[in-house]
Amino acid sequence: MNNNYELYKVFYWAATTGSLTQAAKALYLTQPSVSHAIKQLEESFGITLFYRNSKGVTLTREGEALYSYIGQSQNFITLAEEKMAALKNLDNGELRIGGSDSLFKHYLLPYLEDFHQKYPGIRLQLNHGTTPEIITFLKEGKIDFGVVRMPIVDPLLDVKESLQLQDCFVAGSNYADLKGTVLSLDRLLQHPVILFSRNSRARMTITELFQSYGLQLKPAIEVGSVDLLIEFARKGLGISYVAREFVTKELDEGSLFEIQLDVPLPPSQVGIMIMRNMPLSVSASKFMELARHTDMR
C-alpha cells in the first residue's frame, strides 16, 4: 500500500477541523475534491474513517487510530518546515570551519566575530588540525570549508587564494648578538631551531627549501601550536620559524626580532578550500558573502 501523501493531508485537516468544508478552505481545494480524497483513502484501507453527520464529520475508532499516527507525522513536517525557514533566515544552524589555531586567531577571528554579532543563533564549530587533517575533515563532510596553506592539488577540491603570509625566523633576547647580522642557512643551523609539527604545510615548505640548498633541517624542538613557537622563542629556547604576520606585536614591542638571512624565504598563500561541485550551506555562503565585503576573498 502506497497512498499519496496528499490524501493523508486531506484526512488530517478533515479530522482536525471536523469539517470537509473547513478542510477544503485550509487546503485551497473544493469540497468535492476533499470528499473524493477521503473516499480514496477509505477504499485503499477497506475501512470507514469518518462518520458523516449534519455538523460535519467525526472520526471512527479506526479513523482515530490513523489520526494518532498522521497527527504526529504532520507535526514533524511542520517542525521540519519551520526548521528549514530558520536555517534559511539564519536564525539557527551551524557554521563548521576547519583550520589551524594560528589562522583562526590571526586571520579568521575578526570575520567570525562580525558573523556572530549579525547571526547569534548560528553555532560556530571550529575544527583544528594540520592541512592534511583539514582536507580529510572536508571530504568526510565534517566541515563546510577549510582555511589552509597552499598549494593544494586535489581534483575533488576547489581552492581560492586569500591571504599572503611571509614566514621568517625569530629569536628573543638570548640571541641578541645575532641582531643586525645576516646569517647563511648553514650558520642558522648552528643554533637550535624550533619548528611546528612535521605534517604542517609551513614545516614542509621550509624543509624543502633547506633541501634545495643541500641542507637537512632538524629541529631541536617541535611544537603543536604557533603560540608555543612564539613563547619558546621569547624564552630563549631557540630560533622559531613562524609567519611574520603572527608576531607583529612581539616584533613591535621588541620581545622578538627577525633573523636576517642571505637567501629569501618565499611567501606562502592561505587558501579557502571547498568541495568541488558541492553547494555550501546557507550559513557558510553567508559567511563568505560577509567576508568578501571586507577584504577576505
One-letter amino acid for residue 64 of the chain:
E
**Statement to judge: residues 195 and 158 lie in one domain:** no
For residue 251, the domain's CATH number is: 3.40.190.10
**Statement to judge: residues 194 and 260 lie in one domain:** yes
Tell me if 237 is assigned to some domain: yes
Tell me if 278 is assigned to some domain: yes
Q: What pLDDT, on the 0 to 100 scale, is given for residue 252?
A: 96
Domain that holds residue 287: 93-163+270-292
- Name the domain boundary from 59, 88, 117: 88
| CA torsion angle 23 29 31 34 (round to 10) | -70
Instruction: Over range 139-159, report the average pLDDT.
Output: 92
One-letter amino acid for residue 260 of the chain:
Q
In this model, does residue 1 exceed pLDDT 80? no
Average pLDDT taken over every residue of the chain: 91
Give the model confidence (pLDDT) of 71-121 as tens digits. 888 888 877 887 777 777 788 889 999 998 889 988 999 999 999 999 999
**Statement to judge: residues 145 and 172 lie in one domain:** no
Contacts of 195 (CB under 8 A, 6+ apart): 203, 206, 217, 219, 221, 222, 223, 229, 240, 241
Instruction: Over range 38-63, report the average pLDDT.
Output: 93
Spatial CA neighbour of 35 closest among 53, 47, 17, 23: 23
What is the residue whose three cell numbers read 559567511? 287
What is the count of structural domains for the chain?
A: 3
Read off the DSSP letter of residue 28.
Answer: T
**Statement to judge: residues 121 and 184 lie in one domain:** no
Tell me if 66 is assigned to some domain: yes
Q: Tell me the C-alpha distance between 234 and 232, whole Å.
A: 5
Instruction: Over range 152-160, report the average pLDDT.
Output: 92
Helix (H, G, I), strand (E, B), or coil: what is residue 126? strand
In this model, does residue 3 exceed pLDDT 80? no
Tell me if 297 is assigned to some domain: no
Helix (H, G, I), strand (E, B), or coil: what is residue 201? helix
Helix-helix angle 31-45:5-17, to 10 degrees: 110
pTM: 0.68
For residue 42, the domain's CATH number is: 1.10.10.10
Contacts of 150 (CB under 8 A, 6+ apart): 159, 161, 201, 268, 269, 270, 271
- Name the domain boundary from 30, 58, 88: 88
